Amino acid sequence: MKNKSGAFMPVDVHSDNNESKKALSQIYDNIQDRLKEFRTLMTKLLFGFMSVSAVLIGLIVKYAESFDFQARLVLGFGFFLLIVFFIYMTRKLEIYFLEVAGVVHKIDNIYGVFEVNVYAKGATLFPDNWKNFGTSKWNEPIFKASYFGLIGVCLFGLLVIIFVK
């Protein structure tokens, strides 16, 4: 909502003003859509990286006999740096995701979705384990999968570089 001078005003969802509630609901829906898109993007990036890594590891296996110790050392170091870069970027994206998810967490609390008897008699609207969404306690599955996948590919790639002849 904007005031007469065009500046945005805070939304009071506890008032009877339907316009305030509608504005907060639109913000909530927009952020939820962005989080879904973000999860999809992270999944595509992870599978893209895994695919490129598989091709690189396959090429290393195919041409392994032509690599001497120094070439293997350089390949291993380069592969390791690539993984470290992707882990760093994944962590930055996770921090951004949690910041955006924190807004959802605030809106959930404003609407009282975790309070008993607000939306359903004797129950909460959302499951209790969703209370941590948007907080540092939340472990978003796509990031956990990314970290395990990146570390797994790194170890496998390094083992291939070192031991395949």
Q: How far is it, in rounded angstroms, from Cα 83 to Cα 26?
A: 38
Any domain includes 6? no
Any domain includes 11? no
Query: pTM value?
Result: 0.75
Any domain includes 3? no
Any domain includes 10? no
Any domain includes 94? yes
Long-range contacts of the stretch 65-68 (C-beta < 8 A, 24+): 65/165
Any domain includes 2? no
Tokens of 164: 């395949």
Q: How far is it, in rounded angstroms, from Cα 142 to Cα 131?
A: 18
> pLDDT (tens digit, 9 = 90+) per residue, 51-67?
988 898 888 888 888 88
pLDDT at 131 over 60: yes
H helix intervals, the chain: 18-62, 69-111, 141-163
Q: What does the pLDDT read at residue 36?
A: 92
Look at residues 117, 154, 112, 148 and name the one whose alpha carbon lies nearest to residue 131.
Answer: 112
pLDDT at 16 over 80: no
Any domain includes 13? no
CB 46 within 8 A of CB 83: no
Q: How far is it, in rounded angstroms, from Cα 89 to Cα 95?
A: 10
Q: What does the pLDDT read at residue 4?
A: 56
Any domain includes 29? yes
pLDDT at 149 over 60: yes
Domains: count for the chain: 1
Q: How far is it, in rounded angstroms, from Cα 36 to Cα 21?
A: 23
pLDDT average, residue stretch 121-126: 90
pLDDT at 43 over 70: yes
Tokens of 155: 């170890």
Q: What does the pLDDT read at residue 13?
A: 54
Range scoring the smallest mean pLDDT among 5-19, 47-61, 72-86, 145-159: 5-19
Q: How far is it, in rounded angstroms, from Cα 126 to Cα 54?
A: 40
Structural domain containing residue 55: 18-59+68-163
> pLDDT (tens digit, 9 = 90+) per residue, 57-105?
888 888 888 888 898 888 888 888 988 888 998 999 899 899 999 999 9
